[in-house]
Amino acid sequence: MPFDVSALKAKPTQMTPRNVNRTGRDLGPNPWLDKAWPFNLQTSYDNAEAYEMELKGTTVTATYIKGKNKGAEYTKLTGDAADAETLIRDAAEKLGIGASVQITPAKRAGYFTVKYQGQKRKNTQKGQEAAQA
């Protein structure tokens, strides 16, 4: 039996407009922007020094649901280590500098070593190379 829409009754309601931009997670204040914290990203950039720390995290296996890799599996980092990477990259964007971030499993189970260093920002916008030549 086909679905009969004419038998259904709808009622008016309020709905927020669709936002095409995804809202970011609120991770609180960003310590990598805090000038009082001695290991902030700007200090790493100014001193050309890399820092590292061990943070809790886990890896989960997920599957691509669309695109050319649909059905293929990939590994995703979650937890404090993933949040740290997000905050470091956000700090680099706000400071107008680049950031190198490396995340590797630590010797302690359930922890990851997050290494980061502020660097000169790479020009990654398409078409800029041709305009500068």
Residue 59 located in a structural domain: yes
Residue 6 lies in a domain: no
**Is pLDDT above 80 for 1?**
no
Specify if 94 maps to a domain.
Answer: yes
Task: Note whether residue 107 is domain-resident.
Answer: yes
* Domain contains 8: no
3-60 tens-digit pLDDT: 565 666 666 767 666 665 555 667 778 888 999 888 899 999 999 999 999 999 999 9
* Structural domain count, the chain: 1
**In terms of pTM, does the model score above 0.85?**
no
The upper half-sphere exposure of residue 107, i.e. CA atoms within 13 Å in the direction of its Cβ, equals 0
Q: Which of 74, 80, 78, 86 is nearest to 24 (CA)?
A: 86
